[in-house]
DNA sequence: CGTTCTTTTGACGATCATCAAGTCCCGTGG
DNA sequence: CCACGGGACTTGATGATCGTCAAAAGAACG
């Protein structure tokens, strides 16, 4: 695998590598996703990959009954919560290997809508199968509990910082998180394509489109990153980490 | 149960009533807690209530190995995440009936430190017992998964709003959430004692102490609440809901 | 090749953090 | 019982950050 990463190459690669569980990290927003490795279980027996979607297609819709879990094989998607006013907020971007739909296990109803950001391939684990495995397979149940528990922990860290972080901190957090996730997938952690627009990043981080753009420009003139459209190269990850910890 | 609620009465009452599961709510910060009713299971057999703490005592410490889950019988506590700089952020306030420590199931290490805000009594479910129940008791596993899943869903809604809410919205959210939780416990939802300082509220909501104070004053002069020290009375919950949805 | 979406940059104003000063509340010890 | 001290709370003034409005350049797509 080459060190540089073009959008097409990443998208074309359809194997979700089993990522290792990771320790405490200081970045945001891995929410409601979770990793597939512990769940490989439910998949090995289920056989064929299932769902194929195109850009802007809907994988599942908030408010609908829980019918299946999905594990991303290739592509990426965004998880959106719509509030009563109709405003949309992006609560997570999901990459290959991540599990979608776990948040619906408790209520039986999906809390988020998942839109494909590009061509998307997913495994599907039907609800009945999830139920059955949870009841009769202690190891599977434990795996699900672990994934959920890790998600809650990540959410705690996210909440910790969201109220108080500056725009630069949020972007540093966002970029470092993406870098680490790509790296765990076997791609370069220092150069990658963003799959989402500036507006979507802003929706995710609680910033306006303009602030996202301005802050990225500032990081670029400061020499911390190279940005050209959706292509990003992290030039000084240590400095980004410093921004994350100690502010702009 | 009288409609008014003094601090002493609430504290003295040592029965965690089984609260019903609730539907979608628009308020923040029920994170990493979860409700006891589904877990009554692990308790009925375990017998005696266990831990008793005083104000400022530590129930469990972030970074330590997971040794037990705790369910609050009486009193309240705060969950704190400490970042590498030593800054503390309060990620949740927990009331009777809520479960503490679930976020450590996955990693085996606690992500938060729990400090008692007042006299605190908890049930304790030892880790081995949790393990055993998860493995051999499908209903228990399912209950844990449900509680965690609901927590993740709440976390998603919290993340949705945290980045974009104004000070007034955050406080409205905070007060309405507390009101609903007290009501579910059988206390008044319109008049209650705050158990935490203004500074702690600010730490929780991502606001400065001064802004918390100023915003409460503004809500008071607008006739939405009565505030006198730690005593709060919500005079117009509908208007508070409007602030939460549509801003100041 | 034009239309539309995305991105960038500038100017201005609102919100909120910070600094500062003063008041209230509560526990402690005289 | 009262005086003292320290923390909690309130209120004001000022400045920084970031959202909004606006305009224009660039990229994608039919």
Tens-place pLDDT, residues B148-157: 888 888 777 7
- Same domain? A28 vs A110: yes
- Same domain? A146 vs A175: no
- Same domain? B225 vs B157: no
Which pLDDT score, from 0 to 100, does residue B43 have? 52
Contacting residues 181-220/B vs strand C (CB within 7 A) = 206-208, 210-211
Which pLDDT score, from 0 to 100, does residue A55 have? 85
> Which of B162, B194, B214 is where one domain is finished?
B162
> Which of A162, A196, A211 is where one domain is finished?
A162
In a domain? residue A88: yes
CA distance A89 to B160: 6
- Same domain? A178 vs A158: no
- Reduced to 3 states, what is the DSSP secondary structure of residue A8? helix
| CATH code for position B99 | 2.60.120.10
- Same domain? A148 vs A82: yes
In tens, the pLDDT along B164-175 reads 889 999 999 999
Q: How confident is the model at residue A17 (pLDDT cuts 50, 70, 90)?
A: very low
Which pLDDT score, from 0 to 100, does residue A247 have? 76
- Same domain? A36 vs A129: yes
Question: For chain A, how many structural domains are there in total?
Answer: 2
Query: CA dist A240 to A60, A67, A178, A184, B46, Å?
Result: 35, 41, 13, 19, 49
Tokens of B27: 């308020």
Which pLDDT score, from 0 to 100, does residue A151 have? 82
Whether B183 has a pLDDT exceeding 70, the answer reads yes
- Same domain? B23 vs B128: yes
Angle at B38 between CA B34 and CA B42, to 5 degrees: 100
The residues with which A203 forms a beta bridge, in sequence order, are none
- Same domain? A49 vs A69: yes
In tens, the pLDDT along A24-47 reads 233 333 333 444 444 554 554 555
CA distance B160 to B189: 25
Whether B20 has a pLDDT exceeding 70, the answer reads no
* Structural domain harbouring A45: 13-162
Please give the protein residue whose CA is closest to the C1' of the nucleotide C14.
B166
Whether B47 has a pLDDT exceeding 60, the answer reads no
CA distance B95 to B72: 7
What residue spans of chain A are helical by DSSP H? 7-12, 40-44, 127-136, 138-162, 167-184, 198-205, 209-221, 237-246
In a domain? residue B52: yes
Tokens of A12: 């074309």
- Same domain? B82 vs B31: yes
Q: Is the dihedral of CA B64, B69, B70, B71 positive or negative?
A: positive
In a domain? residue B7: no
Q: Which residue has the tokens 């039986």?
A: A108
- Same domain? A138 vs A67: yes
Query: CA dist A10 to A122, A190, A214, A230, B21, Å?
Result: 15, 14, 27, 14, 42
Q: How confident is the model at residue A78 (pLDDT cuts 50, 70, 90)?
A: very high
Burial code of B100-139, b = ≥16 C-beta within 10 A, e = fewer?
A: bbbbbbbbeebbbbbbbbbbbbbbbbebebbeebbeebbe
Q: How confident is the model at residue B158 (pLDDT cuts 50, 70, 90)?
A: confident
Inspect the interface and report whether the beta carbons of A149 and B85 lie closer than 8 Å: no
The residues with which A79 forms a beta bridge, in sequence order, are A92, A114
Of B105, B135, B164, the CB nearest to A149: B105
In a domain? residue B199: yes
Which pLDDT score, from 0 to 100, does residue B7 have? 31
- Same domain? A21 vs A115: yes
In tens, the pLDDT along A126-183 reads 999 888 888 888 888 888 888 888 888 878 777 776 778 899 999 999 999 999 999 9
Distance of CA A245 to the CA centre of its chain: 22
On chain A, the residues whose CB falls within 8 A of the CB of B146 are 105-106
- Same domain? A129 vs A206: no
> Which of A108, A136, A162 is where one domain is finished?
A162
CA distance B19 to B12: 18
In tens, the pLDDT along A48-58 reads 568 888 888 89
CA distance B163 to A203: 9
In a domain? residue A2: no
| CATH code for position B210 | 1.10.10.10
CA distance A63 to A113: 8
Which residues of chain A from 47 to 76 reach within 8 Å of chain B, CB to CB? none
């Amino acid at each position: 695998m080459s060190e540089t990463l073009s959008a097409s190459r990443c998208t074309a690669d359809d194997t979700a590598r089993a990522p290792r569980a990771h320790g405490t990290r200081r970045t945001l927003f891995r929410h409601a996703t979770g990793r597939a490795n512990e769940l490989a279980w439910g998949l090995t027996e289920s056989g064929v990959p299932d769902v194929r979607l195109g850009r802007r297609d809907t994988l599942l819709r908030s408010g609908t009954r829980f019918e299946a879990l999905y594990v991303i094989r290739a592509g990426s998607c965004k998880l959106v919560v719509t509030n009563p006013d109709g405003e949309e907020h992006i609560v997570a971007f999901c990459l290959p290997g991540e599990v979608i739909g776990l948040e619906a296990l408790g209520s039986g109803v999906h809390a988020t809508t998942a839109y494909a950001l590009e061509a998307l391939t997913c495994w599907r684990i039907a609800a009945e199968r999830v139920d059955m495995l949870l009841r009769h397979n202690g190891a599977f149940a434990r795996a699900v509990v672990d994934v959920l528990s890790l998600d809650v922990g990540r959410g705690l860290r996210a909440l910790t910082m969201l109220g108080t972080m500056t725009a630069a901190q949020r972007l540093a957090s966002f970029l470092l998180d993406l870098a680490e996730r790509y790296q765990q997938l076997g791609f370069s952690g220092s150069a990658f394509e963003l799959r989402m627009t500036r507006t979507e990043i802003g929706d995710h981080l609680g910033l306006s489109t303009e602030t996202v753009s301005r802050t990225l420009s500032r990081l670029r003139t400061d020499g911390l990153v190279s940005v050209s459209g959706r292509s990003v190269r992290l030039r000084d990850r240590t400095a980004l980490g410093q921004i994350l910890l100690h502010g702009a």
